[in-house]
A and B are shown apart, each in its own frame.
Chain A
Amino acid sequence: MATLTIPVEQKKKGSEQEALITGAEAIAIACKLANVDVVTAYPIRPYDTVMQYISQLVADGEMDCEYIVAEGEHSQFEIVKHASACGARTFCGSSGVGWMYAMEALTVTPALRIPLVAMVGNRALDDPGAFGVEHNDALAVRDLGWMLTWVDSAQEALDTALIAYRVAEDRRIFVPLAISCDGAFLTHSQALVQIPSKEQVKKFLPAYNRGDLLLHPDNVISVAPQVNEDWVMEIRRQNFGVTEIACDVIREVYADFEKTFGRKYGNPFFEEYMTEDAEVVLLGMGTLSTPVKVAIRKMREQGKKVGFVRLRWFRPFAGKEIGKCLERFKAIGVLDRDFSFGSPDLSGVVATEVRSAMYSNSATRPPVIGFIGGLGGREVTVPDVEAATEIIFQAAKGKAQPLTQWIGLRG
């Protein structure tokens, strides 16, 4: 049973309130602040505490929405898809194979230009059964037109949820967006979060306006008639048009976020940590950032010039920016909390995408080593990070390294 916010102290920071809450609860609160209309729930760990929190908010009258418990994830996402088509702001979520069970619904939502906002509590795909974090669930939709972002703190989860509604519901975008929160470390760990006021959110987030796509008796349209090879290319081209401007919209929204709430994220697409004079750099997504930063500070004390890039937005993938950022380093180590069996060089998804981005956008060709670790919730430890860093230092010196290596593995 989820317990609700226990305000630690009333901070007079704008009109914000501080609380000790999990990433899941932070997102629940964001939904409340965003005046979400329809929420569908289905139990699967570790995302589903967000739905437990929302249930309490609804029962206590703090949130006014239709709260429907579906009989499966496919229905869960179909319900909000059609609710959104009829003009409702929606929230949904899942984890692991639950997300996969919804896959048919997830697949068609981008083409229909439906701005769902979903939380993925990243979890291993089981079998083999495990509740711990693995990123393959959210990554499975990466080609389909979903926007994907990874957060690493409860604060970032709350902020990003508000940003998500603003970005997704921008008429130029109008595609679904999933916020990934690492299972356990983010979904179940309580941290201090500044909660904005309803007034601030109202200033930042306009109402969801579906315009001439709204399904309502006053607007006689047919949505998604059967098409054939004469139409599909053009329809997909429209989604491609979204990706062409998605980065610009994200930048606009983050700038406005900073203005409204005073919290500065800087570059929306990735966070740079101690990269100014780094020789080599590590790159990853999600809560592995914490052990990485601890390791980097330790290595810096030893005189090793290493930095860290934490990728926030996976889709759209800011290839130009990433390429330009990474070209100055002598070697790059990408930490993948996912797998992509049979990929080029057998690397994980993020490493493969980074290499691709650099091929087109970097002036140099430093070695990019892919590290696979942390699967199924295994902790990424400081020694793991140090070992990986040692490998990329060797690569930087010109000593050839296997392009994919497993860290934290027994054997």
Chain B
Amino acid sequence: MSTFVDEKPTQELEAFKGVKKVPHEEYYTSGHRTCQGCESAQIMKLMAKAAGPRTIVLGSTGCMYVANTSYYATPWGVPWMHTQLGSSGSSALGAAAAFRVQMRKGVMKDEPINVIAFCGDGGGADMGLGAISATMCHPDYNLLILMYDNESYANTDIQISGTSPYGVNTSFSTPGKVKRIMNHRWKKNMAPLMLVGHPTVKYVGTISTSYPLQAMNSVRKALSIGGPTFIHCLNPCPKGWDFDPVLSFELGELAVNTGIWPLYEVENGKLKLYGKTEQIANGRFKRLPVRDYLLKQGRFAHFIDEDIDYFQSKIDDMWNKWLVPGIIPLQKDIETAE
């Protein structure tokens, strides 16, 4: 009686066992007006490829809407529908509910259909946070919310969002003669928020386009496990972050190797760390200094040592002081009341 969840079967999407086993079919193809080297477009491609043809995608407003489907054209080879900036959570829920009831009533062929809603960090961490949170509590509906994080409202020409790094230069946080640092906020912990705040969510993961195989397999796992799921992807953005696209991979790796972006997934409450994140966690790899990552990007060109040191100290705290490094910001010593 404790699990009164009425889940429908999902597709069984096994992990791709290596890059050569990745299928050739593209469900997100060329012709989109994204920047050269757009890693957010890259995760769209990987996500669609990982999900396959029995999928519908809801795309909330952002670069992956405007740049992808600009000018009344589309790169999508699966059904796609635009939704409002703050509606990734609600649109996924509506689609999942519609399929479920029509299949139950026998007016639609009963089969598992992947429902994926994507949001940028603006649409997900800011405006749409409430809707995503609500959707995460509905255990009966199978869906995936994928947040592509380029650490800004990129489509409106780069402004800070809830996941923008401390001190970053954007058109709403411009360094000037009197104020060098306009953005005092620290990046929101979105994946842990979904995980800790919604105890029945079966899968939450963080991914990076620098690790495409793991990214695709994370999507496949989220679509297979059942219930609402959440994936947070870090996407280096050559325009907003101001770097040469050839650096996209390097920056994705540096984000992980400096400990800024931990790679992990939580499946039914079990935490698994990936790659360098795992090695950092058990002391086998020393985190690179954040300076190596920050100074490769024009958006931090105004940083002075004081800013870099502060940034470093926050990352150090994350790894040295947190109960679960990179994930749960509670102090390690838990006090008990007398």
A residues in contact (CB < 8 Å) with B: 35, 37-38, 40, 64-66, 68, 70-72, 74-76, 78-88, 104-105, 108, 207, 215-217, 219-228, 230-231
Q: Are B79 and A75 in contact (CB under 8 A)?
A: no
23 contacts between A and B (CB under 8 A): A37-B102, A38-B94, A64-B104, A65-B101, A66-B100, A70-B90, A75-B93, A78-B131, A79-B90, A79-B94, A79-B97, A81-B94, A83-B97, A86-B94, A87-B98, A88-B97, A105-B84, A220-B78, A223-B81, A225-B68, A225-B69, A225-B71, A225-B73
Produce 1/0 per residue, B73-92, CB < 8 A to A: 11011111111101101111
Closest residue of B by beta carbon distance from A82:
B94
Q: Are A74 and B98 in contact (CB under 8 A)?
A: no
- In the complex with contacts A79-B93, A85-B81, A217-B113, A222-B76 CB distance below 8 A: yes
- Please give the distance in Å from B330's CB to the nearest CB on chain A: 26
- In the complex with contacts A37-B105, A220-B79, A228-B71, A70-B134 CB distance below 8 A: yes
Q: Which residues of A contact B92 (CB under 8 A)?
A: 82
- Please give the distance in Å from B44's CB to the nearest CB on chain A: 13
- In the complex with contacts A75-B89, A220-B79, A87-B113 CB distance below 8 A: no
Residue B19 is within 8 A (CB to CB) of chain A in the complex:
no
Q: Which residues of A contact B113 (CB under 8 A)?
A: 216-217
Residue B223 is within 8 A (CB to CB) of chain A in the complex:
no
Q: Are B102 and A87 in contact (CB under 8 A)?
A: yes
Residue B133 is within 8 A (CB to CB) of chain A in the complex:
yes
- In the complex with contacts A74-B86, A86-B56, A217-B54, A222-B94 CB distance below 8 A: no
Q: Which residues of B contact A224 (CB under 8 A)?
A: 81-82
Q: Are A78 and B95 in contact (CB under 8 A)?
A: no
Q: Are A82 and B66 in contact (CB under 8 A)?
A: no
Interface residues on B, range: 35 or more
- Please give the distance in Å from A51's CB to the nearest CB on chain B: 15
Say which residue of B74, B90, B108 sits within 8 Å of A82 (CB atoms).
B90
Say which residue of A38, A65, A221, A226 sits within 8 Å of B71 (CB atoms).
A226
Q: In whole angstroms, how far apart are the Cα atoms of A81 and B71 in the complex?
A: 24
Q: Are A71 and B71 in contact (CB under 8 A)?
A: no
Name which of B54, B65, B66, B87 has the most chain A CB atoms within 10 A of its CB.
B87
Q: Are A105 and B55 in contact (CB under 8 A)?
A: no
Q: Which 6 A-B pairs have the closest CB atoms?
A: A225-B69, A82-B94, A86-B98, A88-B98, A78-B90, A222-B74
Say which residue of B90, B102, B107 sits within 8 Å of A75 (CB atoms).
B90
Say which residue of A78, A88, A219, A227 sits within 8 Å of B101 (CB atoms).
A88
Residue B70 is within 8 A (CB to CB) of chain A in the complex:
yes
Name which of A38, A105, A226 has the most chain B CB atoms within 10 A of its CB.
A226
Q: In whole angstroms, how far apart are the Cα atoms of A284 and B174 in the complex?
A: 55
Q: Are A207 and B81 in contact (CB under 8 A)?
A: no
Q: Are B87 and A80 in contact (CB under 8 A)?
A: no
Q: In whole angstroms, how far apart are the Cα atoms of A74 and B123 in the complex?
A: 14
Closest residue of B by beta carbon distance from A108:
B84
Residue B245 is within 8 A (CB to CB) of chain A in the complex:
no
Q: Are A207 and B87 in contact (CB under 8 A)?
A: no
Q: Which residues of A contact B94 (CB under 8 A)?
A: 38, 40, 78-86
